[in-house]
Amino acid sequence: MAVATSDLLASARAGDKRAIARLLTVVENDAPGAREILRETYPQAGGALVLGVTGPPGGGKSTLVSRLVAAYRERAPRVAVVAVDPSSPFSGGAILGDRIRMQDRFLDEGVFIRSMASRGHSGGLARTTARVVGVLDALGTDVVIVETVGVGQEEIEVVRVVDTVALVTVPGLGDDIQAIKAGVLEIADVLVVNKADRPGADETVRDLAQMLTLGPPRNAWKPPIVRTVAATGEGVDELVRAVDRHREWAASSGERERRRADAARVEVEALLRESLVRRLEERVGSERVRRAVERVASRAVDPYAAVEELLADP
């Protein structure tokens, strides 16, 4: 391991935010040194409370996350937020408002905030997020909150890396939002109705309760529905308690180990695929792969036949 990396790790473990940020950048970009950082940190992770906060846009998630950060800071010295943003050169501007609100917490030495773009991660955003969370965990962060914007399949993959998923909705979203939410509802451990002082909160709670009964059979955990008003902080303590209860249940029931084994499987399989493709390209030459792609693109040959040809000839 390069001396620079070992120095960075020591500083990061002591809580130096600059050192943490630099390590994460290396890991996020799979830059030289990423391998070493993962080797050093991987065995030390697993102790943090890792909470995912997801849900459709407009739910006030960022404000709620700020409140959660404050609540967790009361009982833990180091809290981190990993904000997973929709990918775009534009989004840097579009979500600036949210990030600025979050910076309120930046003045607190015990709070570390990381924004991640959702594109350009070799191997997928979920994997990169898992690595970033793992490194933060290994470096001594007590609580890591992963916040996603949006409710698509990718967000579902992202929150799979956390131990507890809080799904945030608000009263009065239309049918379309209900449809989107459905996909995420299955992976939610705690349901949050934010802006619960608005009209329609009771109906939303009732709708969610009903959707839970309609869903596929669940294991022993029945997701509680918590009402919050993030703007005032109302209900945030209850949410923290609900997350604690889920965490205890997950640890004692074996659910946590199951999720972590799932995440490990995804990671190992993805790395295996990458390594195998790299080896093949070294063997047959990337030029031959490129030509196969061209022939498929011009529909001279179907993809299966092209791949068979590449693999047949040693």
Based on the shown chain and the rule CB under 8 A, indicate whether residue 314 belongs to the binding site for a second copy.
no
SS (H, E, C) the chain: CCHHHHHHHHHHHCCCHHHHHHHHHHHHCCCCCHHHHHHHHHHHCCCCEEEEEEECCCCCHHHHHHHHHHHHHCCCCCEEEEEECCCCCCHHHHCHHHHHHHHHHHHCCCEEEEEECCCCCCCCHHHHHHHHHHHHHHCCCCEEEEEECECCHHHHHHHCCCCEEEEEECCCCCHHHHHHHHHHHCCCCEEEECCCCCCCHHHHHHHHHHHHHHCCCCCCCCCCEEECECCCCECHHHHHHHHHHHHHHHHHHCHHHHHHHHHHHHHHHHHHHHHHHHHHHHHHCHHHHHHHHHHHHCCCCCHHHHHHHHHHCC
310 binds a second copy (CB under 8 A): yes
Q: Examine residue 214 and tell whether it contacts a second copy (CB under 8 A).
A: yes
Closest CA to 179 of 144, 140, 209, 211: 211
Q: Does 287 bind a second copy (CB under 8 A)?
A: no
Beta carbon of residue 244, minimum distance to a second copy (angstroms, whole number): 23
Q: What token pair was written down for 241?
A: 């308690």
Our finding on whether 215 is near a second copy (CB under 8 A) is: yes
Least gap, CB of 48 to a second copy (angstroms)? 13
Is residue 30 near a second copy by the rule CB under 8 A? no
Footprint of a second copy on 8-27 (CB under 8 A): none
Q: Kindly state the smallest distance separating residue 185's Cβ from a second copy, in Å.
A: 6
Q: Least separation, in Å, of the C-beta of 301 and a second copy?
A: 8
Contact map string, positions 151 to 170, toward a second copy, x by CB under 8 A: xxxxxx--------------
Is 150 a residue that touches a second copy (CB under 8 A)?
yes
**Residue 307 binds a second copy, judged by CB under 8 A:** yes
Map residues 49-88 to x or -, x wherever contact with a second copy holds by CB under 8 A: --------xx--------------------------xxxx
Instruction: Supply the minimum distance, in Å, between the C-beta of residue 286 and a second copy.
Output: 11
Q: Which stretch binds a second copy (CB under 8 A): 40-48, 192-200, 236-244, 246-254?
A: 40-48
- Binding residues for a second copy, rule CB under 8 A, total 82
Decide whether 1 or 311 has the Cβ nearer to a second copy: 311
**Least distance from a second copy to the Cβ atom of residue 313, Å:** 14
Mark residues 89-108: x for contact with a second copy by CB under 8 A, - for none: xxx-xxx-xx----------
